[in-house]
Amino acid sequence: MRVLGIDCGTERTGWGVIESDGRSHRVLALGVIRTAVKSPLEQRLSKIAQGLRDVLQSHQPDSAAVEEVFYSQNVKTALKLAHVRGVALLAIAEARITLGEYSPLAIKVSVVGYGRAEKQQVQMMVRTLTGFQGVIETEDASDALAVAICHATTCRTALKATV
């Protein structure tokens, strides 16, 4: 199964595409969609939407997964993140592929085995689980790969439960 993982952000939206059978995972592509901090939100959202459409078109994933909105103390930041997440969900719906949504806790438990893992631990486990030797440009791309791994693992577990 080919999975696109997305780590939503208004400045940097990370994405990663893996090929997985639910147990072994291989990185096919990863990157970051960057927007100018001083640009109006609607222009940033448009750039993110187009970037995700390009990724979906180029890599033709079978499914995609995004992190659920994390409710922090900063409501303004959470609202902006929700806008980006909405754009991601729209791009996925337009591509007509299945969607998985996971909490930050579920993603960390799936990849690291510990729900309060630090970003560096997530990146280390992403490398370990995929055998990826290349450069992971940012934590956003690493987090996106973690979302994809969580989805692939969850789908395999669900499939095993029905067999």
Which positions are catalytic?
A: 7, 67, 140
User: CA–CA separation, 121 vs 136, rounded Å?
Assistant: 14
Backbone phi and psi for residue 105, each to the nearest 5 degrees, phi listed first: -60, -45
* E strand or H helix at 47: helix 41-59
Half-sphere exposure of 27 (CA within 13 A, CB side): 24
Strand pairing partners for 12? 34
Q: Which residue has the tokens 């109006």?
A: 40
User: CA–CA separation, 91 vs 84, rounded Å?
Assistant: 11
Query: Helix, strand or coil for residue 61?
Result: coil
- Among 8, 111, 121, 127, smallest CA distance to 65 is for 8
